[in-house]
Amino acid sequence: MTAPLVAIDGREVRRRLDAEAEVVVVGSGPAGATVAAELARRGVRVVVVEEGHQARPGALAASGVRAMASLYRDMGTSLAFGNVSMPYLQGCAVGGTSVINGAISWRLPPEILAEWSAADPALGEALHPDAIDAHQARLEHRLHVHPTEASIAGAKNLLLARGADALGVAHRPIRRNVDGCVGAGRCLQGCPHGHKLSMDLSLLPDAVAGGARIFSGMRVDRVVIERGRARGVTGVTAGGARFDVRAGVAVVLAASAIQTPCLLRRSGLRHGPVGEGLSAHPGVSVTGRFAEPVRSWQGATQGHEVTGYRGEGLKLEALGFDLSILASRVPGVGADFARRLAELDRYAVWGAALRAAGRGRVRPGPTRPLVTYSITPDDVRKARRAVRVLGDALLAAGALEVYPGIAGFAPVVRDRATMARFEVEGSLVASDYAMSMTHLFGTARMGSDPARSVVRPDFRHHSTAGLYVADSSVFPSNLGVNPQIAIMALAARCAERVVN
């Protein structure tokens, strides 16, 4: 009989709990799950402490709004403040954000690794491309990463291919970590069939099979440090009790680029640029209305991408929303809005992720992290270009009209010449662009200089023994591509260092 995924559910813990392990991992997303699986495979006794709960595929809601309420941090209302107020989305569940992500799987681009090692040669050795590639190949195999099949892509993805062909720009089916996907279009609400190989259905069961224990519904408040060494973590269970987990060998933080720096600061570890340098991929999207049904909620949630603008720092993807979210993308009021709502099956929404130069900062707040983030004038120009290209691709694919959704410009565009004008006349005011962030990096940067980084090239904290950071907080920059495989590859490297 296989062991249950969760060893202790914090909702049921109402009295003080004490536990111990060799290594305590905080967070069970791609970073934490990978560290746990790698360590358990090598015979290390691991406890994973996760604030969220286990999501059961059969019980997941189809409604995007309801999924946000149960599986997203802050019910999907996390907001970064800056020259544009920008929502940032994160999962809070056993499996972390992988439970509600789009399953898009990209390797860490070699040119990014080269950038990192040019800036700090010690990283070239620590993150040697051959070692990273070996981890990525193994992870891709385990997570069944493969291109989206045309048979389950659905209209929104096939239309993006048509639009990209018309523009003469490179595109391809998205490689995703799914097994037996039937194109139910609900990855962002959690796959109801269990076909997305999120961490709760892949590396966490591997970790448990190797002897790891997962504690869910337990929020870590701080790392316990004694005589300069991390000795464990302490926090509170969803049942309202205090808990302590002692770590004989190490504590590994994998709580994400937002929560990890907060944990460090709450633990009194303020050395180096902890919480500084937040970088991201802000995203913009454009909606188009077609004559024929698109049924945007059907087919692979995100099954096709345009790669031809990556040199400009833009990556275009088809997006898949259920009706509750899709309705918010339709313009108009009153009878006009009602008419458009009645045609909701005709709409497609495509988005672009920007490799932005903007930077931000994270600090612990009284109830949730305080996050600031501002984009640069160049980023706004990129956003403007992205909106133009998205609108152009939709029209080239046959959309009757598109809705750029940018203040001061035509709300409805029906021809490509007007869309081209947008790139010249469209607003360059950051706050005119409705953006959101799903990929976050850089708040506990890795590097050899303790004044300019928080962890060493071997993932160890510069000033505290036995403390490691494994998530994308350590990334020196953003990537320009979807990060989960890169995060897992670095986390696997971190696990090697913990064992060494």
Q: Which residues bind ligand SF4 (CB under 6 A)?
A: 103, 178, 181-187, 191, 193, 195-196, 300-301
Q: Is 348 left (phi over 0), alpha (psi -120 to 50) or beta?
A: beta
Q: Which region among 17-25, 45-53, 148-156, 244-252 touches ligand FAD (by CB under 6 A)?
A: 45-53
Residue 287 near residue 346 (C-beta atoms within 8 A): no
Q: Residue 178 binds which entry of ligand FAD, ligand SF4, none, with Cβ cut-offs from 5 to 8 Å by kind?
A: ligand SF4
Q: Residue 188 binds which entry of ligand SF4, ligand FAD, none, with Cβ cut-offs from 5 to 8 Å by kind?
A: ligand FAD
- List the x/- string, 448-477, binding to ligand FAD by CB under 6 A: -----------------------xx-----
Which residues, at least 6 apart from 474, have a Cβ–Cβ distance to it below 8 Å? 444, 445, 446, 454, 455, 459, 490
353 belongs to the binding site for ligand FAD (CB under 6 A):
no
Q: Any catalytic annotation for residue 439? A: yes
Identity of the residue, 300 or 481, whose beta carbon is nearer to ligand SF4 in the bound complex:
300
Q: Residue 92 binds which entry of ligand FAD, ligand SF4, none, with Cβ cut-offs from 5 to 8 Å by kind?
A: ligand FAD
Angle at alpha carbon of residue 498, lines to 495 and 499, rounded to 5°: 90
279 belongs to the binding site for ligand FAD (CB under 6 A):
no
Identity of the residue, 383 or 487, whose beta carbon is nearer to ligand FAD in the bound complex:
487
Angle at alpha carbon of residue 210, lines to 205 and 213, rounded to 5°: 70
Q: Residue 101 binds which entry of ligand SF4, ligand FAD, none, with Cβ cut-offs from 5 to 8 Å by kind?
A: ligand FAD
Identity of the residue, 404 or 480, whose beta carbon is nearer to ligand FAD in the bound complex:
480
Q: Which of 61, 71, 161, 255 is close enough to bind ligand FAD by CB under 6 A?
A: 255
Annotated catalytic residue within 135, 281, 439, 462:
439
Q: Residue 482 binds which entry of ligand SF4, ligand FAD, none, with Cβ cut-offs from 5 to 8 Å by kind?
A: ligand FAD
364 belongs to the binding site for ligand FAD (CB under 6 A):
no
**3-state class of 87 per DSSP?**
strand
Cα-Cα end-to-end distance for the chain: 33
We find the least distance from the C-beta atom of residue 143 to ligand SF4, in angstroms, to be: 12
CA–CA gap between residue 30 and residue 93 (Å, rounded):
12
What are the helix and strand counts (H, E) for the chain? 14, 21
Residue 486 near residue 479 (C-beta atoms within 8 A): yes
CA–CA gap between residue 201 and residue 218 (Å, rounded):
20
Q: Residue 185 binds which entry of ligand SF4, ligand FAD, none, with Cβ cut-offs from 5 to 8 Å by kind?
A: ligand SF4
Q: Which of 5, 13, 24, 32 is close enough to bind ligand FAD by CB under 6 A?
A: 32
Identity of the residue, 92 or 300, whose beta carbon is nearer to ligand SF4 in the bound complex:
300
Beta strand 314-319 pairing with 347-354: antiparallel
Residue 317 near residue 386 (C-beta atoms within 8 A): no
Identity of the residue, 163 or 185, whose beta carbon is nearer to ligand SF4 in the bound complex:
185
Ranked by CB distance to ligand FAD, the top (closest) residue is: 29
Nearest to 28 by CA among 59, 7, 11: 7
379 belongs to the binding site for ligand FAD (CB under 6 A):
no
347-359 burial code (b ≥16 CB/10 A, e <16): bbbbbbbbbbebb
Q: Which two structure tokens, joined as six digits, stand for 475?
A: 């990334």
Q: Is 480 left (phi over 0), alpha (psi -120 to 50) or beta?
A: left
CA–CA gap between residue 276 and residue 463 (Å, rounded):
17
267 belongs to the binding site for ligand FAD (CB under 6 A):
no
Q: Which of 254, 319, 489, 498 is close enough to bind ligand FAD by CB under 6 A?
A: 254
Active centre residues (catalytic)? 439
Rule CB under 6 A: which residues touch ligand FAD? 26-32, 49-52, 89-93, 96-98, 100-104, 188, 219-220, 254-256, 259, 263, 438-439, 471-472, 482-484, 487
